């Protein structure tokens, strides 16, 4: 039983291939995937996928890149959505300094709104985190180049009793124990198998076994070419589109990194996934 802790199956890049993707996911034994929203507009699409495919676990939230798209009543709408769907998680939420300091126009979709300042990102993140605490839901957290700020926020505010996910964890290995004590799980992404991602691999060598998860972030963050088992046509801008079925290769790469049998890793991740997401 393979589990994808974080992806975006609702994305337009995957829509033309959805039937093929679903068939290949079943063939590989991918039993569950947490499908995360970035915008309020994506919430109904994810709900429809969850109704169509038993392996979809919905997760609703506002991504820090996209909070400018929210409606005036977004938080009430999010609460209503979560109350109506007891299995749903909260995500993708978080804070992101990279988009403020380093993003180029070509890094963002056309007509993307200007990124919100970190203070506004923080307010929206904390409102969603508080909702996860209130409703006892796991939260899937995004962070880029703001690990110190995230650590301070998590230490200063209540956290979900069942824990939270640091998706595609890219922080230092030295911060893993502190985050784990706060209740963090850490999902390994296939892109970390690239040769240059030495820092990320060092961090995941240090993650406790009972806090380890695996993700694709499909259609983003594809594994390097030698690990890409399920190619898809490129995006309209020529970017590689990450198939959710590349999850199996990501498991194999992580087992190799941690020098454990693939079956051992698979069983441990399934146990961890069930503990966090139910």
Residue 111 has pLDDT above 80, yes or no: no
Number of domain units in the chain: 1
Q: Is the dihedral of CA 141, 100, 240, 261 positive or negative?
A: negative
CATH number for 103: 3.20.20.140
Single pTM value for the model: 0.96
Three-class SS of residue 121? helix
Q: Where are the alpha helices (DSSP H) in the chain?
A: 18-27, 43-52, 74-84, 98-101, 118-135, 147-156, 176-182, 198-206, 247-258, 262-277
**What is the average pLDDT value for the chain, to the nearest integer?**
96
Confidence of residue 214 (pLDDT cuts 50, 70, 90): very high
What confidence score (pLDDT) does residue 31 get?
A: 97
Per the structure, the complete domain to which residue 80 belongs is given by: 2-277
Among the residue ranges 94-103, 178-187, 196-205, 217-226, the one predicted with the least confidence is 94-103
Give the pair of three-digit tokens for residue 118: 């970190």
Residue 192 makes CB contacts below 8 A (sequence gap 6+) with 168, 200, 201, 204
Could you give the CA distance from residue 278 to residue 265 in angstroms, rounded to a whole number?
A: 19
* CA 128 centroid distance within chain: 15
Which tens digit of pLDDT belongs to each residue from 112-151? 788 899 999 999 999 999 999 999 999 999 999 999 999 9
253 phi and psi angles, rounded to 5 deg: -65, -40
Could you give the CA distance from residue 271 to residue 274 in angstroms, rounded to a whole number?
A: 5
Which tens digit of pLDDT belongs to each residue from 78-102? 999 999 999 999 999 999 999 998 8
């Amino acid at each position: 039983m393979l589990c994808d802790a974080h992806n975006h199956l609702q994305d337009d890049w995957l829509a033309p291939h959805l039937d093929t993707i679903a068939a290949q996911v079943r063939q590989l034994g991918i039993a569950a995937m947490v499908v995360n929203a970035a915008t309020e507009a994506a919430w109904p699409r994810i709900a429809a996928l969850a109704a169509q495919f038993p392996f979809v676990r919905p997760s609703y939230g506002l991504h820090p890149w996209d909070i400018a798209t929210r409606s005036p009543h977004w938080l009430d709408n999010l609460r209503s959505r979560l109350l109506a769907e007891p299995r749903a998680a909260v995500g993708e939420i978080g804070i992101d300094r990279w988009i403020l300091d380093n993003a180029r126009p070509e890094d963002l979709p056309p007509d993307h709104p200007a990124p919100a300042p970190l203070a506004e990102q923080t307010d929206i993140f904390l409102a969603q985190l508080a909702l996860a605490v209130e409703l006892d839901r796991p939260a899937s957290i995004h962070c880029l180049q703001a690990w110190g700020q995230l650590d301070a926020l998590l230490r200063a505010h209540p956290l979900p009793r069942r824990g939270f996910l640091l998706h595609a964890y890219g922080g230092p290995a030295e911060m893993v124990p502190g985050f784990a004590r706060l209740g963090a799980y850490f999902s390994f992404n296939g892109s970390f198998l690239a040769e240059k991602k030495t820092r990320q691999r060092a961090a995941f060598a240090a993650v406790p076994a009972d806090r380890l998860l695996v993700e694709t972030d499909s259609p983003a963050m594809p594994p390097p070419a030698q690990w890409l088992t399920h190619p898809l046509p490129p995006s309209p801008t020529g970017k590689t589109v990450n198939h959710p079925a590349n999850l199996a290769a990501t498991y194999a790469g992580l087992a190799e990194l941690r020098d454990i049998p693939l079956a051992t890793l698979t069983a441990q991740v399934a146990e961890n996934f069930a503990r966090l997401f139910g």
